[in-house]
Amino acid sequence: MNKPFFFFACILFSFQVKGQDVYHDSTALVILDKVAEYVGELNSLKFQAKIEEDVAFSEAFLIKEFRTAEITFQGSSQMAAKITQQGKDNFYFYNGKQLVYFNLEGNYFAAGDAPDNTLDMLDWLNESFGVHLVLADFLYPNFTSNLMESMDYLEFLGTTTVDGQKTFHIGGANQDLTFQIWISQDFQPRPLKALLTYLGEPYARQIEVTFDNWEINQEYPNSMFEFLPGPNSKQIIWTKKN
């Protein structure tokens, strides 16, 4: 995957990144590698996320939107996701062959043949439909190398506490964006919080994600990743983005 898609938000660094300067701190790279290595060894992974995102309300005005996500991954080809925004639930079911999107309030669904593994499916969902479920970079075995390609600056910023948990604090930046990520400082290195700022005009746009309620290596039934249409559910066409 060459285009990592982050779900982070605002950052303030006490440095300036110059266009052609590159600095990749070895300590930061080791910690990021540990995250990718740990996640790659898991049989299943479930977490909840709270997302705060700035979106355009008008040409000169941004508003903040809030949503929550509950994501379950099992093996290399199963995923179930629930995304809630403004009290409305949307679901995604992936069984290794097909991805189904279901809108609970409207009682309609769309289905499409998908790649045969979760990581390729997430790429396909992003590239074909512009859908980013949640931060997925840390799921990829080339997590660190992707960051090194896209970031001019990566540095270990020290240790701190997030919601009572000790974390490693890492920051990064390029000409277009800056980010911070906080990784749990224990035997299960996981991202606990991520913060991103897009440095576009006329205003910087921010996204923040907080991760919680992790479940590791639980066994989930296959039926959890299958979609069964309910009474009067309507199927719609899933249109790819231009």
172 touches 154 (CB < 8 A): yes
- Say which residues have a Cβ less than 8 Å from residue 76's Cβ, sequence separation at least 6: 117, 118, 119
92-117 tens-digit pLDDT: 999 999 999 999 999 999 999 999 99
**Residue 13: its pLDDT value, please?**
36
45 touches 39 (CB < 8 A): yes
A 10 A CB-CB count for 147 gives: 21
pTM recorded for the entire structure: 0.85
What's the CA gap between 80 and 69, in Å, rounded? 11
Residue 73's DSSP bridge partners are 45, 79
**Residue 137: its pLDDT value, please?**
74
All domains in the chain, ordered by first residue:
23-235 (2.50.20.10)
Q: Of 11-25, 41-55, 63-77, 188-202, which range is least confident? A: 11-25
Binned at pLDDT 50, 70 and 90, residue 10 comes out as: very low
